[in-house]
Amino acid sequence: MSDKTVRRFDAGAESFRWEDVPVLDYKSGTAAPFRDITRQTLFKRADLRGELRYFEVAAGGYSTLERHQHTHAVLVLRGMGTCLVGTEVHRIGAFDLVTVPPRTWHQFRAAANAPLGFLCMVDAERDRPELPDPHALSQLRAVPAVAEFLASDDS
């Protein structure tokens, strides 16, 4: 990404886009499950120790269920959906803020009929996400609201 002072928002695009910012696969080289989600890196500089990314989950899509040592600071910019943070499930919409603490299971899901777009701030240097093993999954599913959240996979 070049150091252009102002990068215009593309108000005409169907998904949120910024001038000269490539729309990338959410993750590459991984078998981690996810659906209908793209990634744009908005800010990434050697002199900043963080990165700001924009993720857009299409209607019915979801991010990977994962946890890691690094934290996420999330600001929803468009649409609506639900998030799992730990064993809590929350409905979220535009301008809500979500904090994902270290080592906390998390997943973002768009509503069935609306996208979910959010900014996510992370450390530039961060550990790799861990996926739940069957034991961790069964522990999560023991919480009814979490079981219901995870079951929306099958829709």
Residues classed as catalytic: 120
**CB 138: neighbour CB atoms within 10 A?**
11
Q: Distance (Å, rounded) from C-alpha 75 to C-alpha 99?
A: 9
Element (H, E) at 145: helix 144-151
Q: Distance (Å, rounded) from C-alpha 122 to C-alpha 116?
A: 19
Burial of 114 (0-12, 13-18, 19+ CB in 10 A): middle
What is the three-state SS of 50-98? EEEEEEEEEEEEECCCEECCCCEEEEEEEEEEEEEECCEEEEEECCCEE
Q: Distance (Å, rounded) from C-alpha 9 to C-alpha 21?
A: 10
